[in-house]
């Protein structure tokens, strides 16, 4: 879906996907929402023997997936998740896509309904560089990772790590695992307070489950 914007640094993107992939238990059933060209799905299928399915908005992405033998449906996270039955997957992955959805809260509710667990990765708008740009220039930040100006970007619902954690509370999601990634896409040291991640993490990856 909006993956292209975050793929400026190809190797960093791979690291991001690998972080997500490592959070998936081998042999499970996975739905990748916004699967792009299917790179993560292939990684999961080949490396972790996962039964992976995908949803992707762009025709080019879907065609690439189909050509690789992946089962991918052309569709939109905002409208098409409603069609999936409850508990139909072990994991539903939303990688770098939530900020491009129209109704992130509804999407989150569907992820938790469809999958036993949800894995969500997103760019952190609370990163110090972004805060600094906004504070110093008084303009919406345009950075290497977020290169598109405010009126063109498909990313209409940016949030910080703290904001996202609030949303998890609102939809009753329990955070099972979390990691922030630095500018190179590498995981930051575990056990740091959320405030540190929110300031220095460029991306966050969280594993969620339905709260008790």
Partner 1 sequence: MARTLGTHALSPTPRHEADDPSSLVARFGADEPLHLDCGIALAPLQIAYQTYGTLNADKSNAVLICHALTGDQHVANVNPVTGKGGWWETMVGPGKPIDTDRFFVICSNVLSSCMGTTGPASRLDGGPAYALDFPVVTIRDMVRAQAMLIDQLGIDTLFCVAGGSMGGMQVLQWAASYPQRVFCALPIATAAKHSAQNIAFHEVGRQAIMADPEWKGGRYLAEGTRPEKGLAVARMAAHITYLSEPALHRKFGRKLQDRAAPTFSFDADFEIESYLRYQGRAFVERFDANSYLYLTRAMDYFDLAADYDGRLAQAFRGSRTRFCVVSFTSDWLFTTQESRAVVHALNASGASVSFVEIETDKGHDAFLLDVPELFATTKGFIDSAARARGLTEPARG
Contacts to partner 1 by CB under 8 A: 53, 59, 62-75, 80, 83-85, 88
**Residue with Cβ nearer partner 1 (85 or 191):** 85
CB of 200 closer than 8 Å to CB of 160: no
For the chain, give the DSSP string.
--GGGG-SSHHHHHHHHHHHHHTSPTT-EEEEET-TTSHHHHHHHHHH--EEEEEES-HHHHHHHHHTT-EEEE--HHHHGGGSPTT-EEEEEEES-GGG-S-HHHHHHHHHHHEEEEEEEEEBTT-HHHHHHHHHH-S----SSS-S-TTT-S----B-HHHHHHHHHHTTEEEEEEEEE-TTSPBPPTT--HHHHHHH-SEEEEEEEE--
Least separation in angstroms between residue 68's CB and partner 1 is 6
Q: From CA 107, how far away is CA 148, in angstroms rounded?
A: 24
**Residue with Cβ nearer partner 1 (12 or 35):** 35
**Residue 177 forms beta bridges with which residues?**
207
**Residue with Cβ nearer partner 1 (116 or 129):** 116
Least separation in angstroms between residue 67's CB and partner 1 is 3
**Residue with Cβ nearer partner 1 (89 or 158):** 89
**Residue with Cβ nearer partner 1 (62 or 199):** 62
**Residue with Cβ nearer partner 1 (64 or 99):** 64
């Amino acid at each position: 879906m909006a993956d292209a914007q975050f793929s400026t640094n190809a190797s960093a993107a791979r690291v991001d996907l690998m972080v997500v992939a490592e959070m998936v238990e081998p042999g499970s059933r996975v739905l990748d929402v916004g699967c792009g060209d299917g790179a993560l799905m292939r990684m999961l299928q080949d490396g972790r023997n996962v039964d992976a399915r995908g949803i992707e908005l762009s025709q080019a992405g879907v065609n690439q997936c189909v050509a690789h033998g992946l089962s991918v449906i052309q569709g939109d996270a905002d409208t098409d998740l409603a069609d999936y039955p409850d508990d139909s997957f072990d994991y539903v992955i939303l990688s770098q896509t939530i900020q491009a959805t129209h109704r992130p809260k509804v999407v989150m509710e569907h992820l938790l309904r469809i999958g036993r667990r949800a894995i969500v990765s997103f760019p952190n708008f609370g990163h110090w560089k972004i805060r600094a740009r906004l504070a110093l220039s008084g303009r919406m930040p345009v950075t290497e990772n977020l290169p598109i100006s405010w009126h063109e970007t498909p990313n209409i619902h940016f949030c910080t790590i703290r904001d996202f954690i609030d949303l998890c509370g609102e939809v009753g999601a329990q955070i099972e695992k979390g990691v922030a990634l630095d500018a190179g896409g590498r995981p930051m040291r575990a056990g740091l307070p959320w405030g540190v991640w929110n300031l220095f993490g460029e991306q966050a990856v969280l594993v969620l489950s339905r709260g008790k």
